[in-house]
Structures are given as structure tokens and as C-alpha cells.
Amino acid sequence: MVYLLLSIFFTTAAFLTLKEFNRFKIDNLVGIVVSYFTALLIGSFFSGSFTFTTFYVDKPWVWGAVGISTIFIIVFNLMALTAQKGGLSVMSVANKMSVVIPISFGVLLYNEALGPLKILGIVAALLGVWFTSKKEGVDKFDKRFWYLPFFIFIGSGLADSLINHMQTFLVPQDEIAIFSTSLFWFCGVIGVALCLIKYALGKLRITFKSIVGGLVLGVPNYFSIYYILKALSYGTIQTALVFSLNNLLVVLLSVFLGVVLYKEKLSKQNYIGIAMSAFAIVLLYFAI
């Protein structure tokens, strides 16, 4: 249970750090790229070797890892924008409700059963994202950014589906560690390429505080994944319950901190959306 709570803490800390990028005028792309290399170095330090230098390009999962990493860096940038433009509640719910996509892929591609709980959970999740994203008054979500939570939802779900497919069919048990580490490596490399393009176009200015922001973000970015894997490895709590509690508490804690720290105002529709999101998480994971 301690590992699960630590994962929830670090995931929420990563969300808060993304939110703070705007206040400190930190470039989202630069900060996120630096965070991936920071997470890569932390992971290599704890594993005792720089494993990202040892993977082979002829592995069947390499191009899949590149695709997943591309989605990761796009979604992470969208998460930063959403936290800054729409609030923590919008961003966290859109990210966590994406679980409906890998479940849907499981039904379509792997012939998994689609029972009434799954159907009800998917519907509740979609409605939860919609209602939580709606802002009114001074906190009204700018209509120009309507696509942000939508693409977070799609991108996060697609990435989870690809990871599940890769680990099931292409990644041997003894290569899971290097596969996971390679994702940080590819994210960093792709991010550097994007930074160079923006810099050449005169649309990027690399500052010291953006690098510092990335170093700070890299810590919760790594440990949020590390501790959820630790929680799953012990097997004292069912996998479904681990993910259910993790997603539910991250959403609720993010919404709570958004209200307390940033004075984000929630409408009745937002409260309905949060309640439906919590209901959807419970339904979906107990339906698996």
C-alpha cells in the first residue's frame, strides 16, 4: 500500500509541476525534454547501468517503442497546456479516463468479453470527461482549446494500448526493463529534434529556468512509474484494484489541490463529471 500511495503522490506532483511551468514562464517542450533525460539518468542510476546504450535496433519492439515515445511527448505537452489553460481537474480526468481505449481494444482485437459493467463504465467515463472539462464564469475553458482534453484522452489511451500489445506479443520477459528505459531515451531524442526545429525557426528560446524546471519534473516523472510497478510486483493487492485506486485518487487529489492551491472553481457540472469519473474507474476495473 505504501508503494501505491507513493505512486499517487509522485503522479500528482508531476501534474502540479506541469501547472507551475506557466507561472515561471518555463517552455513546456524544453522542460519536458529535459525531464525525460532526467528520468532516464535516474533509472539508469538505480539499475546500476546505463541500459539505454545496450538495446539493439534489430529488436522487434524498437519501432513500436519509437511510436509510443512519439505519442508520449505529444501527450505530455498537451497535458501541460491543458493544466495551464483548463486546470488540473480537466487534465487529470482526461488522462486517467483514457483507460476506456485499451479496454475497447481488448474487446475488438483480443475477443475479450464486453459485459454490462464495461459498457456502463465506458459511457460513464466519456460523460465524466465531458462534464469535468466544462468550465463556467471566470474559469470557463477557452473554446479555442477544446481539443486539448480530447487528444489527451485519445493519445494516453492509444499509448497504453500499444504498450499492452508490445509487452504481450513482442517484448520478452527479460527485456521489459530495457524496453521501459528505451521509452525515456526515445522521448528525449524525439524531443531534442523538435527543439532543434523550433529553434531553427526562431520559435524557441532555451533558458536556465526551463532546464531547472525539466530537472524538477523528471523526478516525479520517473518515480510515478517506478512505484506503481513496485506496487504491482508485490501482488498483495489485485492488479485491477491497484490501478483503480491509483487513477481514482490521482483524479480526486488533483481536483482538490486545484481548488485549494489555484482557487479553481468547480460548477455543478464539474462535480457531476468528477463523480461519474470515479464511478467509471471502479466499474471498469472491476469489470476486467
Dihedral of CA atoms 17, 20, 25, 26 in degrees, nearest 10, equals: 0
DSSP state of 65: H
Per-residue pLDDT at 176 exceeds 80: no
Per-residue pLDDT at 137 exceeds 60: no
Query: Quick one: what percent of the chain has pLDDT higher than 90?
Result: 24
Distance CA 288, CA 285 (A): 5
- The band of 241, judged by pLDDT with boundaries at 50, 70 and 90, is low
Sign of CA dihedral 205, 206, 208, 210: positive
Q: Based on the number of CB atoms within 10 Å of its own CB, is 209 exposed (0-12), middle (13-18) or buried (19 or more)?
A: middle
Distance CA 278, CA 98 (A): 13
Q: Based on the number of CB atoms within 10 Å of its own CB, is 211 exposed (0-12), middle (13-18) or buried (19 or more)?
A: middle
* Cβ 100 vs Cβ 122: under 8 Å: yes
Per-residue pLDDT at 134 exceeds 60: yes
Entry pTM: 0.81
* Cβ 102 vs Cβ 26: under 8 Å: no
CB atoms inside a 10 Å sphere around CB 197: 11
Q: What is the pLDDT of residue 168?
A: 73
Q: What is the pLDDT of residue 238?
A: 58
Distance CA 29, CA 192 (A): 9
- Mean predicted confidence (pLDDT) in 117-143: 71
Q: What is the pLDDT of residue 220?
A: 95
Three-class SS of residue 108? Answer: helix
Could you read off the pLDDT of 48-89 as tens digits, one per residue?
A: 666 555 555 678 888 898 999 999 899 988 988 888 877 777
Q: What is the pLDDT of residue 138?
A: 46
More confident residue, 287 or 218: 218
- The band of 229, judged by pLDDT with boundaries at 50, 70 and 90, is confident
Q: Which of 95-99, 204-208, 229-233, 282-286 has the lowest mean pLDDT?
A: 229-233
- Mean predicted confidence (pLDDT) in 16-29: 91
CA atoms within 13 A on the CB side of 258: 28
Three-class SS of residue 236? Answer: coil
